[in-house]
Structures are given as C-alpha cells and as structure tokens.
Structure 1
Amino acid sequence: MGSSASASLSSSSAPSAATLHRSLWLGALGVLMFAMTLPMTRLAVGPADAPQLPPLFVTAGRAAGAGLLAAVYLLLTRAARPQQRHLRDLLVTALGSVVGFPLFLGLALRQVPSMHAAVVTGILPLATAAMAALMLRQRAPLGFWLCASAGCALVLVFAAWEGHGQLVLADGWLLLAVLSASVAYVSGARLSAGWQAEQVISWVLVLSLPVTLPVAALSWPTHAVSAAAWGGFAYVTVFSMWVGFFAWYRALAMGGTLRVSQVQLLQPFLALLLAVPVLGEALSPHTLGFALAVLAVVMLGKRMPVAAKKAGAA
C-alpha cells in the first residue's frame, strides 16, 4: 500500500456519519451474502449419511471457479498488478479465506446441521475485532468491548441452548474456521484501505489458482451428485467466495474494522433464518428473541468512538 493507505490506517480521525452509514449498509449486504454460505455449503457437502461433494473439492473448486471469474474481471478492468509489499497480506488473506475457512467449514458441516454451525461461528465478530486490535493496532473504549462481549455472550448462550451443552469435533473445525476468517478479514481490510476492494479479493483468488485448480481437478467427485448440491456449490463459488467480499472489504475499509465487524453479529441469525427455506430446518421461536437482542447490542456498539493509534506508536 502507498502512503495514503498507511495514513488511512494510522489516522486517529473517525469516519464521517455519512461514510459510517454507507459502510454499515455495505457490511450488512456482505453479511447477508455470507450468511447464505452455511446452508449452501451444507447443501454442497451433504450430511454424513448422504454425502455429496467432497469438502476438499468444495474448498478448492469454489476458489478455482471464482479465481477464473476474477481473472476475467482483472483483465477487463486493466487492474494494476500487486507489488512486493502487497504479497504478505495477499498470502495471509488467501490462507484464511481461500483455504482455512471453507475447508474447516466444509468438514464441520458434514457432521452438524447448518444451524449448529451458525451459532458456533457467531463469535467471529469478536475474533475479527481482536485481530484488528492486534494487527492494525486499533483501540476502542471499554464500552465498545463491553458491547462486543455482550453480543458474543448472547451468541454463545444461544449456541449452548441449541447444542444442549454438548461439544463435538465439528465445533473444533468451526473454531478453526473462525480464526482463519478473522485473520483474513483484517489482512484484506488492510489491503482495501489503499486498493479497490474488488481487486483485493480478485488478486487473492487469481494468485491462488496454481494451487486451487489442480486440487479441484484431483478431488473431483467420483459418485453421482444431486442438482441441489451443485447449486449450493455454484452459490459459494460466485457469491461467498467473490462478490460478497466486494461489499465486505469496502465496508471494513470505509468504516473501520473494529466497528463494521460488529454487524457480523447478525450473521448467525440470518443463517438460521435462511436455513429454513433452503434446508427445511426447523426454526425455534426463541431464535427471533436472540436476534433482536443481538441487533440492539450492535446498534449500541456502533455509537462507541473507535480510532487507530497514532502512526508513531507503530
């Protein structure tokens, strides 16, 4: 990133009210597209007793397909090529968003329903905020962290309620998916501060093609796969792996990672609601109550002032 990007990360000035408003709406759009990832991935991989696409193929195949779309986009827009200073963040983003998150999610969704995954991955906003504080050296008042903690506590209580206090191997996969995504979100946001968000995720996908294309070919399913599974795969390829990041990275860059990441507290509840028409999973009444409570915490948390530390501190 150039000097302007560095300044945008280190400046102590907060975004304007209009910029923050736009960033929150963009973040909400990205979250909505990402919320569909869980039920669509469940469709793609299928349950353990009726497996569909292999998790490894879904991981590599969706990245390869999106990478080919991204290559066309970069050629048509004549995007500038990444420079050496971009490579570290591009690599970290690729490892988190192209490999880690989809692979761990696919492994988990072979074992647990989409709704279970939705509540466990609800801690992603807190993980993203923690990674932002560490990697971007941002700071926030105690009230902000209290709101973030309260929102995540609500999510964890909901997860415990739905899971009857039981943890399975899939929960470990889901926690690894959360860690992978949080690191990728922050490194991608750092790139987006001085680079168009569309180009960030596109270059991440294109630079991953030498790995994702061969792995997708080698892991191609050898058994019959339902049309619904291929439909789920198509969705995660186009929207979860590519288009969703257009909105998400731009939102993080405009409004600040710490603040905008809290919108993602709504993602598990959106995923729960979407799992009803997509997968036919039953929606329990208390889900709406938890969703409203989390929404209240998000609205309160976004009013807390957030700033980056001064450049000298870096």
Structure 2
Amino acid sequence: MTAQDSATPASPIAVSSGILLAVLGVVAFSLTFPSTVWGLESFGPWSLVSVRSVLAAVVAGTFLLAMRVPLPERRHWAGLATVAAGVVVGFPLLTTLALQTSTSSHAAVVVGLLPLTTAAFAALRTGRRPSRTFWAAALAGAAVVIAFTVQQSGGTLHAGDLYLFGALLVCAAGYTEGGRLAQWMPGWHVIGWALILCLPLALAGSAVALAYEPVRLSAHGVVGLVWVAAGSTFFGLYVWYRGMAEIGISKASQLQLAQPLLTLVWSVLLLGEALSPAAPPAAVAVLVCIAVTQRART
C-alpha cells in the first residue's frame, strides 16, 4: 500500500477508493462532538474518555487476535505511540473537557483548522511540498470554516478554547503519523495497536475515574459512549488512515473541511442547537475549496 505522499503516484482506482474511505472517516468523525455531549449525560469527562478507550481497545484487540496479526516491527512503535498520544488520548480528553463549557457547534472550530494544520504537519514530516494552488485553497477553506463557526458562536471565545486548540495540535500530529504508518500496515492495524498500547493506562484511568465521577446511565449516554468508542475511534480512524495511505495525507486532510458543517447539522438534528442561515453558502464555498485541493498537484 503506497501513499500519494510517497514517490510513486497512486492509480485512479486507488485515488477513488481512498477518497471514499476518507469521506467515510469524515462522516464518522462529524458525529464525535454530538455523541460526546450525549455521553456526558451519563459519564464524567475522565470516565467517558477512559471507558471509551477501553471499549475501543477491546474491539481492536478482538480483530487483531481473530486475524492473528503479528506485532508491529520495532521501528514502528514510536509512531504508534504518537498516534496513541494524539488521537486515542489527547484529542478525546481535551475535546471532552472543552465540551463541558462549549457547545458542539462551537467546538467545530477545531476541525475547521485541523485540515490546514494536518497538511502543515505532513509537509514537515514527509518532506513533500504541495503546490501553491493547494495551499491557497486550503487556507481559503480554513478561513471560510473559521469565519462561519466564529459567527455561529457569536464571535466570542470560551474558556474551553484552550482545550480545543491543544486538541487541534495533538490530533494533527496523530493523523500525520498514522497516515505515514498506513503506508506499511493496514489502517486498522495502526489504530488497533495504538489502542492496545493505551489499554493499561485506559484501564487504570477507568478504575480511578469511575470511583470519583458519578454514573447516571441513560439511552443518550450509552449510545454516545458506544459511538465514540466503536464509530469514531475504531471504524472512523480505520477508514481514515486507509484513505490517507491511498491518496496522501495532505489531500485527505482537506476533505475534513466539510466536517465542521456536518457536525453543525448533527448538532441541530441530535442536540437541538440552532443553525445559522449562513450555513448553505458556507457549505458551497467549502466544497469548492475541497474540489480545488483534490485536483491540485502535491
């Protein structure tokens, strides 16, 4: 499996498959914030993140054992640790803490900047330099999303924004390293081993957090927990990393420009949050920017 960020260009079939897989990842990720808000109805923030990681690791471990997947090579463990720190621990914890005071709509500003940040991390990590057209479209898309989400939140920053900006950085690092590793192993191996790497910490965290944070089970809370564990963390990252391996980290990252708008739609449908009239024109502008980045030379 060869990434577009490598020296060998991907075939048209691989590009189409990679785009589809990455889009599925974006759809799965777009449900993360609303699902986290639901999960917080039943669990405290530390409990939700810890139990989420344990459940996702159980799913991943079951697949790894059933398929008799061998341990990764020693040279890949540092990269897996980066994935684990960024997307298994850092991003879920920081965004969950932020969502105690921020709305799901406002938190979408994180993924509004994430595509640009991931592309920057990828350029530094892989040495590949996308064209000026790519960067111009990426910056334009980020500007549209940021302007829209700030307008949606009333133009003010919240206490949780420090958590959100921290989540942005660690997630971009985890995405980049995971996309790079997916050149040598299947995407589900990448997230699977990262989850297994975090399992001891997640088990200890769950035991401590559940002892101190009250649990009030509800249908929303259980559904939210199951989705962030199996949907966002395992399935979403599996298809995302596989898509990255086929079309390249930079191109895949720009598909996430649509994620904040999808999150806002889910926030309206699932959480009853208000949607700005600016959403339709913002969506069109973002789709144009995505189309340009996918056609631009990398």
Superposition TM-score, scaled by structure 1 size: 0.90
Alignment of 1:179-190 (within 5 A): 179-190=169-180
Distance 1:120 1:199, change over 3 A: closer
Q: Does 1:164 align with 2:154?
A: yes
CA distance in 1, matches of 2:215, 2:86: 29
Q: Displacement of 1:68 after TM fit?
A: 1.0
- Contact 2:61–2:192 (8 Å) recurs in 1: yes
Aligned to 1:206: 196
Specify every segment of 5 or more residues in structure 2 that has no aligned partner in the other structure, as ranges. none
Q: Displacement of 1:121 after TM fit?
A: 2.7
Q: Displacement of 1:28 after TM fit?
A: 0.5
SS for the counterpart of 2:201 is helix
Q: Could you give the per-residue CA deviations for residues 194-253 of structure 1, whole angstroms, max 9, x where no partner exists?
A: 101111111111121111011112111424233211210111011111011111000000
Alignment of 1:1-314 (within 5 A): 11-46=6-41, 52-220=42-210, 221-306=213-298
CA distance in 2, matches of 1:231, 1:54: 15
Q: Percent identity?
A: 36
- Contact 2:111–2:257 (8 Å) recurs in 1: no
Q: Displacement of 1:112 after TM fit?
A: 1.1
Aligned to 1:309: none
Q: Give the partner amino acid of 2:275.
A: L
- Contact 2:44–2:214 (8 Å) recurs in 1: no
Q: Give the partner amino acid of 2:40.
A: V
Residues matched between the structures, number = 296
Q: Give the partner amino acid of 2:104.
A: S
- Contact 1:42–1:109 (8 Å) recurs in 2: yes
User: Which range moves more in the overlay, 132-141 or 275-284?
Assistant: 275-284
CA distance in 1, matches of 2:67, 2:166: 35
CA distance in 2, matches of 1:154, 1:10: 26
- Contact 1:58–1:233 (8 Å) recurs in 2: yes
Q: Give the partner amino acid of 2:63.
A: Y
- Contact 2:45–2:96 (8 Å) recurs in 1: yes
Distance 1:85 1:153, change over 3 A: same
- Contact 1:121–1:175 (8 Å) recurs in 2: no
Q: Displacement of 1:287 after TM fit?
A: 1.0
Q: Displacement of 1:10 after TM fit?
A: 6.9
RMSD: 1.5
CA distance in 2, matches of 1:158, 1:285: 10
Superposition TM-score, scaled by structure 2 size: 0.95
Q: Give the partner amino acid of 1:161.
A: Q
Q: Give the partner amino acid of 1:76.
A: A
- Contact 1:116–1:163 (8 Å) recurs in 2: yes
